[in-house]
Amino acid sequence: MAHVHTYATCCPTAGPIIHLGATSCDIGDNADLVVLRDAFDILLPKLAGCVKTLGEFADKHKSLPTLGFTHFQPAQLTTVGKRACLWLQDLIICEKNISHVRANLKFRGIKGTTGTQASFLQLFNGDYSKVRELDNRVTQLAGFQSSYSVTGQTYPRIVDAEVVSSLSVLGASVHKMCTDLRLLAGMNEIGEPFEPTQIGSSAMAYKQNPMRSERVCSIARYLMNLVNNPLTTASVQWLERSLDDSANRRLCLSEAFLAADSVLLTLQNILEGLTVFPKVIAKNIDKVLPFMATENIIIAMVKIGGDRQVCHEKIRVLSLEAASTVRIEGKDNDLLDRVIKDPYFAPILDQLPQLLEPSTFIGCAPDQVTYFLKEEVQPVVNKYITKIKTTATKLDI
């Protein structure tokens, strides 16, 4: 009402009819929807910017073999670029979800106190077509294509849950990505940006902590948990409305967008400065490659007439001996030495270099990256290409 009185004072001719027939939600809720729409339009190009930068990283390293992990135990090899495409896939899904929610946002329109438009029907002397025309005109002037056909006093609060949910899913996606980066930083395979004067630890001067990725995880975790608020709010809106939504929404909606904006800005900064350490990656591969090559060795023996079951048993015994040497004695994996010394494998010893070439273990990974970037990543980038800022603002560390 303070606003209404102020406007009336500033515009005395219009003063007598300002807010006539309207309820506060005809103003406030519609304004909120404008803000939500515009906030999405700020976030989506930033998300696309992260997709673009990560896509370039994936393409650059699509053929670089690296250890794959399941259960955080060494598994079949993949490539650095293919792993980046797993993160990209999540971001592509997030863009699709967020843009879908953005596209489906409607205006509340001019609906009155309980959504019946009774006061406006009275103003137009019972002419419902004029009531609809008013609703449509205001909706179009606000830049929306349509309004919700029916409302209570507010627009459906479940819409807020959809909005925050789409952002919470983004939070989960970037949290997963930055957790992976933290693990890889711990193995010295990939490093996030580290400034020349940056201090990793006040006590341990040698440390280069992945603090940017940690920051993303911290804020993303907050973002992920915000979704419970709008879900609960939507569930307890009594009949046409209650006012226990108001203060909660002012916190939850704004903080969800601010948190999402923060993680995308930080993620862009991380992605622009990612450093890959191929020699460390190769060293880590060498530690376990002999175990992974056992199937290739068995196949090679069978091709020259060997018995698969006999070969499998010999490999099994030698592998267990080598594993014991690694785990108990702390020595390097000597499985290949054991294979070379066993006369049984003499017929294929000249094939061992080829059987142990890491690039033969990565399957279709490079081709998958190329196809994925062309078919799924580039269309998303193209949607926002004129709005993408490829260089993130330098972060205050």
**Active site residues per annotation:** 71, 201
Q: Using CA atoms, how far apart are residues 162 and 104, in angstroms rounded to an integer?
A: 10
What are the DSSP E strand ranges found in 89-245? 190-191
Count of other CB atoms within 10 angstroms of residue 147:
23
Q: Which residue has the tokens 């079951």?
A: 309
- Exposure b/e, 105-138, CB count within 10 A at least 16 = b: bbbbbbbbbebebebbbebbeeeeeebbebbeeb
Looking at residue 154, the DSSP 8-state letter turns out to be S
Asked if residues 136 and 129 have their Cβ atoms less than 8 Å apart, the reply is no
State whether residue 366 is helix, strand or coil.
helix
Asked if residues 193 and 273 have their Cβ atoms less than 8 Å apart, the reply is yes
Q: Using CA atoms, how far apart are residues 239 and 348, in angstroms rounded to an integer?
A: 79
Q: Using CA atoms, how far apart are residues 131 and 134, in angstroms rounded to an integer?
A: 5
Q: Take residue 152 and report the two structure tokens written for it.
A: 């209570």
Q: Using CA atoms, how far apart are residues 110 and 128, in angstroms rounded to an integer?
A: 13
Q: What is the largest CA-CA distance in the chain?
A: 105
Asked if residues 76 and 68 have their Cβ atoms less than 8 Å apart, the reply is yes
Please state, in angstroms and as integers, the Cα–Cα distance from residue 137 to each residue in 117, 130, 144, 254, following that order: 15, 10, 10, 28
Q: Using CA atoms, how far apart are residues 90 and 103, in angstroms rounded to an integer?
A: 20
